[in-house]
Structure 1
Amino acid sequence: MTAVLIFGALILLLLTGMPIFAALGLTAAGVLLLFEGSVNPAAETVFAHFNKPILMTIPLFVFMAQIMIRAKVIDDLYNMAHTLVGHVRGGLGAATVMSCTIFAAISGSSVATALSIGSSAVPQMKRFGYPERDALGLVAAGGTLGILIPPSGPMILYAIVSDASIGALFLAGVVPGVLLAIIFAGYCIVRSSRNPEFESPEWAGWSQVFRAIQKSFWAVMAPPVVMGGIYLGIFTAGEAAAIGCLYALFVALVIYRNLSARDLWECTYQTMRTSMMVFMIIAGAAMFGHAITIIRLPNGIAEAVAAMGLSPLGFILLVMAMIFVMGMFFESIAIILITTPILLPTMIALDIDLIWYGVLLMINLELAMITPPVGMNLFVIKGITDAPLMEVVRGAFPYVLLMIGGLVLLLLVPGFATWLPYTAGYGQ
């Protein structure tokens, strides 16, 4: 009954439009006052959560993404993908997915990916006969890859809350992310081959291909520089974030030469705003986690699961179904910070791989970005195209099914997520 009241109060506060950090903090403060008589223990808990080197990756990766976005690398990325595969029937869709994949590995944000790629891709796809619904749905779904493909902001938050290795999580997201991108691109090509309305531009020629690759080389190399160093053990995830910032500055100032002092100030300002918002949410989540630990809620759930006799796979299926429903109403950050502290003791007791679960969680959060009524990418695409929301929803629906298929595949074959980090020496 206590758990129902706590979550009822939290959900009620969130539904009023209150910021996530305030809702978590107020709920936690109420629980601490009722059961401890004081909120003083919250200060030590918040400090302990902030006293982690991994937190420095958040502003560094945000700063890297801001620089690459303002340097306008997206135009060259899309042009390269379009030149490479745009002449194939359905190739424009595949080029859009390729652009989303690369940009997701730079920005780490689903919304930024959908916004940046959508501005260029949707008009181009409609020009060559793509039905508006298909173009809108593809960009909305392709943008979600920003959650799964590293460096991913939600992955970093999950690592902080669960104490999982951020380096292992980054590597674990690579294969599933690329696999989903291939599934999306394959769907575009198959669908286009069966629809005579889809047109394709003429082959640009090898000279144009080499020119496009040359122009986008520095942008394409950003993900390998960051992830390659982690995989080879050259630097840690925190050091990778710093290297990524230096690389982005080099590309913007030396190669593109289009980053002004005002742009640099704007990048710094936006990084500060985004990072502080995330840090406030982490503080609220730390208080909430401490509060539910005080009342032994996670232990009660673990004991209930043990009494039910659920297998690890059965428990994961139940959790995935719950998070899928939550994703229709809550933001991904809220889902991570509310569910992880509660489920963590049970996952440890059932010997569930936290890296594997983290990737499953990210795919489920991708689904949350394109499932109404609170699918952020749906509203982003509607905003930049002024298309009816239901057209965007209908266009994204096939990709919801494809993502669910990818989630099932990863449930059946955990090695898709665990193989790369464990071969890199992170261990189980």
Structure 2
Amino acid sequence: MATFFILCLLIVLLLTGMPIFAGLGLASVAIMLVTEGSISSVADTVFAKLDNGLLTAIPMFAFMAHVMIKSRVVDDLYEAANAMVGHFKGGLGVATVLSCTIFAAISGSSVATALTIGSSAIPQMQRFGYRPRDAYGVIAAGGTLGILIPPSGPLILYAIVTETSIGALFLAGFVPGILMALIFAFHCISQAYFQKERKDSSWIGWKNCGSALKRSIWSLLMPPLVLGGIYSGIFTASEAASIGCIYALLVGAFVYRNFGFKELGETAYETVRTTAMLFMILAAAAMFGHAVTIIRLPIELMESVTALGLSPLSFILVVMLVIFVLGMFLETISIILITTPIILPALIQLDINLIWYGILLMINLELALITPPVGMNLFVIKGIANAPLAEVIRGSLPYVLLMLLGLFLVMMIPGLALWLPEIAGFGR
């Protein structure tokens, strides 16, 4: 009954149109006032949650992504992908997926990936005969890879909430991320055979292909630099983000020579806005987690699950269904911060691997980005293409089914997520 009341209260608040952090905060305050008659514990709760050095990685990765976007380094990335595979049947779609995959490993942001690659790819795909909705769909879906392929902001948040290894989670996201990209690419190829009007790109020759790869080398070096330093133990995730920022600034200022003090100020402003919004949600989620702990909701949930006798797989299926529904109304970070503290005790009780669950959660959150009515990537594509939202949704629907297939595969074959972390010697 308490769970139902809390969810109803939170949904009503969010449906009024108020920001996520405000809805979480008000629901938390209401619970604390009813149960304790005081909100004196709010300050300590928020400070304890935000007093974490790992959080410094989030604004750094955001700044790095904004610098790469502002200096237009990613334009060469798309041109190189198109040069390599654009001449094959359905190759332009595959090139778009490939570009999204590589940029996801640079930015760690799904919205940034969809925005950046979409701005370059959508006009090109339409020029070569792709139906508008097909172009919208592949960009919206390819953009979601930003939260699965490391470095990933949502993965960092999940690691902080569950106190699991960021390095292990980053490694765990590689194989599922590549699997999803391959599924998307196969769909683009198979779809092309049923649409004869597509021309696709012509082969530009090995020399021009090599030139395109040479121009994109600066963006291709970013993932090995950042991720290689983390996995080799040279620096931590926060230090890696700082190194990535310095690298992006140097490339923009001295290689591309289009990033000056004006662009630096605009980038810093966008980073501050993004980070402030995220940290406010994080603080409000900490309050919400404290509030539900006061009313013993996690304990009651764990006891209910134990009493039902659900197997770990059955529990995961139920949780994934709930998160899929929540994803239609809430954005990804809010889902992580609302659901994870509640179900974490049950995950531990049922001996469910937290790294495996984290990857399942990320794939489900990818779905949240392209499922209406609140799919962030859908709105991004609508904005950059000036397209009807209904057309964007139609183009994205096949990819919802493909993501569900990927989620099912990782759920049935945990080794897809756990293989690399186990080889690297990470624990649970």
**Aligned partners of 2:65 and 2:112 also within 8 Å:** no
**Aligned partners of 1:147 and 1:155 also within 8 Å:** yes
**Aligned partners of 2:175 and 2:417 also within 8 Å:** yes
Secondary structure of the structure 2 residue equivalent to 1:144: helix
**In the aligned structure 1, how far is the partner of 2:276 from the partner of 2:37?**
29
Q: Deviations over 1:256-275 (max 9, x none)?
A: 12111011111111111111
**In the aligned structure 1, how far is the partner of 2:416 from the partner of 2:232?**
19
**In the aligned structure 2, how far is the partner of 1:74 from the partner of 1:120?**
9
Moved more, 63-72 or 379-388: 379-388
**In the aligned structure 1, how far is the partner of 2:163 from the partner of 2:20?**
21
**In the aligned structure 2, how far is the partner of 1:272 from the partner of 1:33?**
32
**In the aligned structure 2, how far is the partner of 1:388 from the partner of 1:14?**
25
Residue number in structure 2 paired with 1:215: 215
What one-letter code is carried by the residue in structure 2 that aligns with 1:238? S
Q: Offset of 1:390 from its aligned partner?
A: 1.8
Moved more, 19-28 or 292-301: 19-28
- 1:82-121 correspondence to structure 2 within 5 Å: 82-121=82-121
Secondary structure of the structure 1 residue equivalent to 2:88: coil
Residue number in structure 2 paired with 1:349: 349
Q: Deviations over 1:187-241 (max 9, x none)?
A: 1112213432221222100111110111000101111111112222222212211
What one-letter code is carried by the residue in structure 2 that aligns with 1:82? N
Q: Offset of 1:156 from its aligned partner?
A: 1.9
**In the aligned structure 2, how far is the partner of 1:122 from the partner of 1:269?**
27
Q: Deviations over 1:151-182 (max 9, x none)?
A: 22221222222222222212211111111111
Residue number in structure 2 paired with 1:177: 177
What one-letter code is carried by the residue in structure 2 that aligns with 1:148? L
Residue number in structure 2 paired with 1:33: 33
Residue number in structure 1 paired with 2:338: 338
Residue number in structure 1 paired with 2:275: 275
What one-letter code is carried by the residue in structure 2 that aligns with 1:260? G
Residue number in structure 2 paired with 1:414: 414
Q: Deviations over 1:54-83 (max 9, x none)?
A: 111011111111111111012101100010
RMSD over equivalenced CA pairs, Å = 1.2
**In the aligned structure 2, how far is the partner of 1:152 from the partner of 1:79?**
24
- 1:132-211 correspondence to structure 2 within 5 Å: 132-211=132-211
Q: Offset of 1:50 from its aligned partner?
A: 1.2
- 1:306-325 correspondence to structure 2 within 5 Å: 306-325=306-325
Moved more, 70-79 or 376-385: 376-385
Residue number in structure 2 paired with 1:293: 293
Moved more, 221-230 or 418-427: 418-427
Secondary structure of the structure 2 residue equivalent to 1:358: helix
**Aligned partners of 1:232 and 1:424 also within 8 Å:** no
Residue number in structure 2 paired with 1:254: 254
Residue number in structure 2 paired with 1:390: 390
**In the aligned structure 2, how far is the partner of 1:161 from the partner of 1:236?**
18
- 1:19-58 correspondence to structure 2 within 5 Å: 19-58=19-58
The number of aligned residues is 428
**In the aligned structure 1, how far is the partner of 2:3 from the partner of 2:424?**
41
**In the aligned structure 2, how far is the partner of 1:215 from the partner of 1:364?**
35
**In the aligned structure 2, how far is the partner of 1:6 from the partner of 1:350?**
25
Secondary structure of the structure 1 residue equivalent to 2:216: helix
Q: Offset of 1:254 from its aligned partner?
A: 2.2
**In the aligned structure 2, how far is the partner of 1:49 from the partner of 1:87?**
50
**Aligned partners of 1:105 and 1:146 also within 8 Å:** yes
**Aligned partners of 1:323 and 1:335 also within 8 Å:** yes
**Aligned partners of 2:90 and 2:191 also within 8 Å:** yes
Q: Offset of 1:421 from its aligned partner?
A: 2.2
**Aligned partners of 1:171 and 1:227 also within 8 Å:** no
Residue number in structure 2 paired with 1:240: 240
Residue number in structure 1 paired with 2:358: 358
Q: Offset of 1:387 from its aligned partner?
A: 2.0
Secondary structure of the structure 2 residue equivalent to 1:219: helix
Residue number in structure 1 paired with 2:79: 79
Residue number in structure 1 paired with 2:9: 9
Q: Deviations over 1:274-311 (max 9, x none)?
A: 11111111110111101111111000000000000001
Secondary structure of the structure 2 residue equivalent to 1:275: helix
**Aligned partners of 1:167 and 1:236 also within 8 Å:** no
**In the aligned structure 2, how far is the partner of 1:268 from the partner of 1:379?**
24
Residue number in structure 1 paired with 2:426: 426
Q: Offset of 1:396 from its aligned partner?
A: 0.9
Q: Offset of 1:329 from its aligned partner?
A: 1.4
Is 2:417 the partner of 1:402?
Answer: no
What one-letter code is carried by the residue in structure 2 that aligns with 1:66? H
**Aligned partners of 1:180 and 1:403 also within 8 Å:** yes
Q: Offset of 1:361 from its aligned partner?
A: 0.6
**Aligned partners of 1:97 and 1:185 also within 8 Å:** yes
**In the aligned structure 2, how far is the partner of 1:369 from the partner of 1:246?**
30
What one-letter code is carried by the residue in structure 2 that aligns with 1:22? A
TM-score (norm 2): 0.97
